[in-house]
Chain A
């Protein structure tokens, strides 16, 4: 089974703190993604990466950055957390396409509260 794990299920931070959310996948997938999930808005893509050290902005990258130094690990960084970044954060991974669109596999999510 594909396994995508995230470092914390729940996290509470203070405004202005630097926050790291970690995601690890064990299936050698090339693609990795960070989404945030908010009620009534569904999931929105923050950043994705299709290879080590490669990254692309999603729909809502403002206030976030990412790092992918190893293939299996994709980190989301909030340089200075703000209350409007309180949300559920989901990581996902998928294999590179070989003529077809591949399923994304999701982690359990990290519920971040910024006070």
Chain B
């Protein structure tokens, strides 16, 4: 079975700093997607960024970018110029294409941005 591991339960940085959240996953498959989801306090979970495993280029979305190392099965999220609104739980998730919509989530990292 596929597993996703986020080894940092909590992180805290100062506003405007850059922070990197770690994620590793275990799979023997080659066709899959990886996602980072954000869950702000008392608000709905939203998608931050996605990466298709067959693409070598790392995905970016404004201040958010990923470092996708397929051989190492690593998928870290970098947040540049962090803002107070980035305070949230962040979940890494894996999806095997053959299993359609079955997302497998990591344990989550609670990120706090301090003023």
Which A residues form the contact surface with B (CB < 8 A)? 4, 31, 33, 35, 40-45, 48, 50, 58, 90, 92, 94, 97, 101-104, 106-109
Asked whether B105 lies within 8 Å of A94 as measured between CB atoms, the reply is no
In the complex, 18 of the A-B residue pairs with CB atoms within 8 angstroms, ordered by the A residue number, are A31-B101, A35-B105, A41-B107, A42-B91, A42-B105, A42-B108, A43-B103, A45-B103, A48-B101, A48-B102, A50-B100, A58-B102, A103-B47, A104-B101, A104-B103, A106-B45, A108-B44, A109-B44
Complex CA gap A109/B92 in Å reads: 19
Closest approach, in angstroms, between the C-beta of A106 and any C-beta of chain B?
A: 4
Please name all residues of chain A whose beta carbon is closer than 8 Å to the beta carbon of B93 when the two chains form the complex.
Answer: 43
Complex CA–CA separation, A102 to B47 (angstroms): 11
Q: Is the CB of A42 within 8 A of B106?
A: yes
Segment 18-60 of B: residues with Cβ below 8 Å from A:
33, 37, 43-47, 50
Q: In the complex, A48 Cα to B102 Cα: how many Å?
A: 9
Which of A31, A40, A94, A108 meets B107, CB within 8 Å?
Answer: A40
Residues of A within 8 A of B107 (CB): 40-42
In whole angstroms, what is the CA distance A101 to B44 when docked? 21
Q: Which residues of B contact A41 (CB under 8 A)?
A: 107
Asked if residues A40 and B9 are in contact (CB atoms below 8 Å), the reply is: yes
The answer to whether A106 touches B46, judged by C-beta atoms less than 8 angstroms apart, is: yes
B97: chain A residues at CB < 8 Å are: 101
Inter-subunit contact A97/B100 (CB<8 Å)? yes
Residues of the A chain whose Cβ atoms lie less than 8 Å from the Cβ of B6: 42
List, in ascending order, chain B residues with CB within 8 A of A104's CB: 47, 101, 103
B65 to chain A, nearest CB (A): 18
**Do residues A90 and B102 form an inter-chain contact, with CB atoms below 8 A?**
no
B101 cross-chain contacts in A, Cβ below 8 A: 31, 33, 48, 50, 94, 97, 101-102, 104
Cβ contacts under 8 Å, A108 to chain B: 43-44
Q: Is B113's beta carbon under 8 Å from chain A?
A: no
Q: Which residues of B contact A50 (CB under 8 A)?
A: 100-101
> In chain B, residues 72-115, which have Cβ atoms closer than 8 Å to a Cβ of chain A?
91, 93, 95, 97, 100-103, 105-108
